[in-house]
Amino acid sequence: MECCLNNVCSFTAYHFLILFLIYKYSRIIQKFEMKKCFIISFDIHELSRPSVVAALKSYGTWAKFNNSTWALVSDKSSKEIRDHLKSFLLPSDKLIVIKAGDTAAWRNFSTTTSDWLKKYIK
């Protein structure tokens, strides 16, 4: 009987360890696959604007705050987004891509934009 009990205990401990490792690694994988919110601001020539706007909209989930400040949601890094957008810029155009944090405050945005911010900045 003692041998059986030891086997049951080690079997349970073994399964617990496997479940823990699956949980731990799935959380790590999820962390890398999670989409993040980015704030993009630019000072660009009017010739660049239509192609940059189209590129920003191509990310699917985006919000326009004003003519030169946008936000988007992506699983890419800030460098990858910058590199994608810079292909539409003139040499003198300025661009910054910032990964949004978990808090924000704003004023005088439309209800739609405010709702977007509440949903994606977290």
118: its two tokens: 């509440």
> Dihedral through CA 88, CA 78, CA 118, CA 49, nearest 10?
-10
At 64, list the tokens. Answer: 């326009």
> What is the structure's pLDDT at 39?
93
d(CA 91, CA 95): 11
Mean pLDDT by 10-residue block, N- to C-terminus, for the chain (122 residues)? Answer: 51 62 57 78 90 94 91 93 94 92 84 88 72
Mark whether 4 and 60 lie in a shared domain.
Answer: no
Asked if 29 and 46 sit in the same domain, the reply is no
CA distance linking residue 33 with residue 45, whole number of Å: 34
Domain count, the chain: 2
Do 69 and 22 belong together in one domain?
Answer: no
pLDDT of the residue at 34: 78
Non-local (6+) Cβ contacts of 114 within 8 A are 106
DSSP-assigned beta bridge partners for residue 96: 41
Name the residue range of residue 27's domain: 1-33
Separation CA 24–CA 110 (nearest Å): 40
Tell me, yes or no, whether 21 and 39 share the same domain. Answer: no
